[in-house]
Amino acid sequence: MDRAARAEYLQALGIDVWVPRAERAAWPSARAAVASADALEAASPPEAREATPPAPEAREPPPRAQEGQDPGGWAAERWEALRDEVLRCTRCALHATRTQGVLGVGNPRAEWMVIGEAPGAEEDRRGEPFVGRAGQLLDAMLRAIGLSRTQNVYIANVLKSRPPNNRDPRPEEVTACIPYLQRQIELVRPRLLLAVGRIAAQNLLGTEESLSRLRGRVYRFGELNTPLVVTYHPAYLLRNPADKRKAWEDLKFARSVFRQLTAGVPEDGNRS
């Protein structure tokens, strides 16, 4: 992505940094955002910069199907069965209050998978994850690192049904629902998982550590040992815009991890 485009996306993400008053008028907004990003990098503590992240443990990546390969429509059938099950699911009490189950959205062959907490009111109504205000910010965050739900990322939640009044998921709801997410991961086979928010991160990692302590490290999730990194939930960032800078550090960290994982693989975010 060129600097101007990156700058535009950083602006959408709401990242800007103080620019001397004398310079402000002379700075087209996109250039100011580039300066902001550069200034952020310069001001960040060294460990937070996009330097080489700790190498994800060397393991054979899971085998990935090639474009156009789905012998006998195996994957298509499994997706259809999964969607059908989620729509008819009564494994927990949330089925009684939801409008519909919300499976996921995006490229089912994406190399990046974003995992949130649970559908909110708008998602419950429309049947798609992250379509409310938080979803718009998530899209801007993803665009800032060259990702888009229409092209090269798949988005899902830990829970497929909306908890009433957006309360936190209960442990029994997570236990009932997580096999759906595991099946999604097995079908998409992403190279990297990005858990957004404390609730998603804690439930995926089986920990009660705070989000600030979970950031900046590479974990492994599930049977496929898929690398996982953590960042803030966009709804949290809407309430706490000052932390958008840290989210930007997390996104750069995730991008570095991804680049390490795929070194030598063409980088459009999709399988070749």
CB of 158 to ligand URA, least distance (A): 8
| Total residues in contact with ligand URA, by rule CB under 6 A | 11
Residue 253: what are its φ and ψ, rounded to 5°? -60, -45
Which single residue brings its beta carbon nearest to ligand URA? 116
In whole angstroms, what is the distance from residue 235 CA to residue 244 CA?
11
Cβ atoms of 53 and 31 within 8 Å: the answer is no
Taking 3-state DSSP, the helix, strand and coil percentages for the chain, each rounded to the nearest 5, stand at: 50, 10, 40
Question: What secondary structure, in 3-state letters, does 117-138 show?
Answer: CCCCHHHHHHCCCCCCHHHHHH
Q: Which is nearer to ligand URA, 101 or 129 (CB)?
A: 129
Both tokens of 43, joined, read 């001001």
Q: List Cα–Cα distances, 246 to 40, 64, 85, 238, in angstroms.
A: 10, 32, 38, 13
For ligand URA, the closer CB: 120 or 146 = 120
The 169-208 site mask, x for binding ligand URA (CB under 6 A), equals ----------------------------------------
Shortest spacing between CB 122 and ligand URA, in angstroms: 8
Please say which residue, 117 or 250, places its beta carbon nearer to ligand URA.
117
Nearer to ligand URA, 53 or 120 (CB): 120
CA distance 32 to 7: 8
Between 129 and 190, whose beta carbon lies closer to ligand URA? 129
**Interior angle at CA 60, CA 230 and CA 251, nearest 5:** 20
User: Does the footprint of ligand URA cover residue 154 (CB under 6 A)?
Assistant: no
* Shorter beta-carbon distance to ligand URA: residue 123 or 139: 123
Report the alpha-carbon distance of residue 74 to residue 258 in Å, rounded: 28
Tell me the DSSP string of 165-227: GGPPPPHHHHHHHHHHHHHHHHHH--SEEEEESHHHHHHHHT----HHHHTT--EEETTTTEE
Interface map 103-142 toward ligand URA (x if CB under 6 A): -------------xxxxx--x-----xx---x--------
Q: Give the nearest distance from C-beta 20 to ligand URA in angstroms.
A: 38
Beta carbon nearer to ligand URA, 7 or 158 = 158
Least Å distance, CB 117 to ligand URA, is 3
DSSP 94: G
Site for ligand URA, residues 20 to 59, rule: CB under 6 A:
none
Of 238 and 261, CB closest to ligand URA: 238
Binding to ligand URA in span 227-256, by CB under 6 A: 235
Q: Shortest Cβ distance from residue 197 to ligand URA (Å)?
A: 6
**Which residues of the chain form contacts with ligand URA (CB under 6 A)?**
116-120, 123, 129-130, 134, 157, 235
